[in-house]
Structures are given as structure tokens and as C-alpha cells.
Amino acid sequence: MPSGLFDNNSTLVTLKLNENQLSSLPSGIFDNLRTLKWLHLYKNQLSSLQSGMFSDLVKLQELKLYNNQLSSLPDGIFENLSFLVELLLGNNAVDPLPIVVSLEKVEEGQFKVVVHTGAPFYMNIPISINNGSTNDGKTNLSVEIHKGKITSRTVNVVRTEGTTEAVTVNIGNLPSIPANYIHYGYALITSADLPLEIIPAISGAPTKVTNVALTIPNNNALLSNYPNPFNPETWLPYQLSTASDVTITIYNMRGVVVRRLMLGHQKAGFYTSRPRAAHWDGRNAIGEKVATGVYFYTFKAGDWTATRKMLIRK
């Protein structure tokens, strides 16, 4: 398919390229299609998309990309799609496709919520602040990120008076995606680099000594596994704000369950050190070593869930 194929279609409303043998799309193929409302690309062989390739489609309402070979989504892919109503991404090389929600430091004491692909729908992201608060005293808040936007407004945070530890921010339970047949085939996940430090500890101040095993965190969190990449085993750290029944389910890139770790009823606390973190030996349910590649692990504690990505390298 040549670049510029649709350059003279400035009033195009519907474009159906589904059920072809397309393995790639040229740069700028959808540029200037500012009246397009419906774009169908399903049942092709697309393995990748270029960042920002839909950014000119400012009136787009429906985007169908299911039944391709996509394993990830590039930065900015949904930027400017503020009219998007229907997004279908199921049955790709990774199903569901991960959309990463993260936090970014602006300046000391300031942060933004970031959805690197661009938000496919309006989101309210719950945020917790440790050792600090917003200017009006909030330690837990929701931050809006509008459909088609990559970043939220800037949030200002101050240190709690009398404390010396670093001030950090973290993401709580991510919102559910809209109902099936409106949006499906992707999952929101939190970035592996959280929590984010936005105010450093006071240099030279005495450190408060605590028994970490007896400290109860303010919120649930699933942390990045270590080591990552790993071979042959890894540890999956987490924290619980309340006692819960805990399960960790490990999936391959196609969304197939390879192992389920039933951790049972766990007390509130930090499970971050090797003796306390969950352990995976890199084997499936019947004891076979799994193949090199990307895997996802979903943590469930009561009604709370979170998902992260890990890599086995042999």
C-alpha cells in the first residue's frame, strides 16, 4: 500500500481495509483524514503500528484492530482521538494488549499521570501520597486524564510537617475499561517503576527505624519482580493494606495461563524481601521450564487486582 494513497480524500468518513493481507502500514497513510469517523483494520497481519499514526484522525469514533498480530502499542497511538467511542483490539499476538499508566515527575513536589499511548477513554486515576499531601491536605485523590490525552494536569505535593523521609506517589486500583463490544482486547497496567519519588529525603536527617515486617502499608501494591530479566527464577514482591486471600496468575504473550500461584490468606504487611515475596521457578503447571519471552503476572487480593510484565531470558 503506497504512502499518500488517501491524500485526495479529505471528506472521507468511512475507511474499510479489513480482511486483507496487510502486514504493515506506510508512514503518513492516514494523514489529513480529518473527517474520518470509522476505520476498520481487523483481520489483517499487522504486527506493529507507528507512533502517532492516527493523530490526524481527530473525528474518529470507531477503530477496529482485532485479529492482527500486535504484541504492543506504541507511544502516542491514541493521541488526539478525543471522539473515540469504540476500540476493539482483541485476538492479537498479546490479548489483552497492555496500556501502561504511569506517573511522571515535573519538578520537585510536582507530578502528572501519564498514559503513554494516549488515553482511549476518560479516566479517573486514584493516587496515594506517602509522607506528604496536596496543598489542601489530601493524601488520596483522583486525577483526571481526558480521552485522547497523554498527560493529566500537574499536581502539587508538599512534605508532611515533621517528616524527613522521601515523599512518594503511587497509583491505586486502575479503572475498568468500558463495556464489551464498545472497548475490548486491552488491559490497563501500572508502570513497573512506581512508586515515584517527587521530594527526596532530607539529607543528613536521622532515619526512623521501623520493623518493616510489622508495618502496615496504606494501600495495596504489586511491585516489579526481581531479577528482571531473569533465569531461571524470580521473586514477585507486593504489599497488602488489609488481610486478603492472594492469588498470582502468570500468562504468556497470547494470554494463556501458564501457572497459578495460590498464596492463601495473607496478613496485611510488606511482602518485598525474598523470604516474604512470592516466588516463581520459571516452570508451568506441569513442571516444564517455560520458553524465553515476555510474560504477564496478575495479582489478586480480595477484589483488588494489578498486572505487570516480566521477561525470561535464557
Give the Å distances, CA to CA, from 256 to 83, 101, 139, 186, 201.
33, 23, 38, 15, 43
Cβ burial of 181 (10 Å; 0-12, 13-18, 19+) is exposed
Sign of CA dihedral 174, 249, 309, 219: positive
Q: CB of 67 within 8 A of CB of 93?
A: no
**What is the per-residue pLDDT for 27?**
81
Distance in angstroms between the alpha carbons of the first and the last residue of the chain: 38
Q: CB of 141 within 8 A of CB of 127?
A: yes
Q: CB of 198 within 8 A of CB of 157?
A: yes
Burial profile 7-32: b = 16 or more Cβ within 10 angstroms, e = fewer: eeeeebeebebbeeeeeebeeebbeb
Distance between CA atoms of residues 282 and 237, nearest Å = 16
Q: CB of 85 within 8 A of CB of 57?
A: no
Q: CB of 46 within 8 A of CB of 28?
A: no
**What is the per-residue pLDDT for 206?**
45
Each residue's pLDDT expressed in tens, for the chain with a length of 314 residues: 555 567 667 789 999 999 999 998 888 888 888 999 999 999 999 999 988 889 899 999 999 999 999 988 988 999 999 999 999 999 998 888 889 999 999 999 999 999 999 999 999 999 999 999 988 889 999 999 999 999 999 999 998 887 788 999 999 988 888 887 789 999 888 888 889 999 998 765 444 444 444 467 888 989 888 888 888 899 998 989 999 999 999 999 889 999 999 999 999 988 877 788 899 999 999 999 999 999 999 999 999 999 999 999 87
**What is the per-residue pLDDT for 7?**
65
Distance between CA atoms of residues 126 and 64, nearest Å = 29
User: 3-class SS at 213?
Assistant: helix
Distance between CA atoms of residues 135 and 138, nearest Å = 7
User: 3-class SS at 68?
Assistant: coil
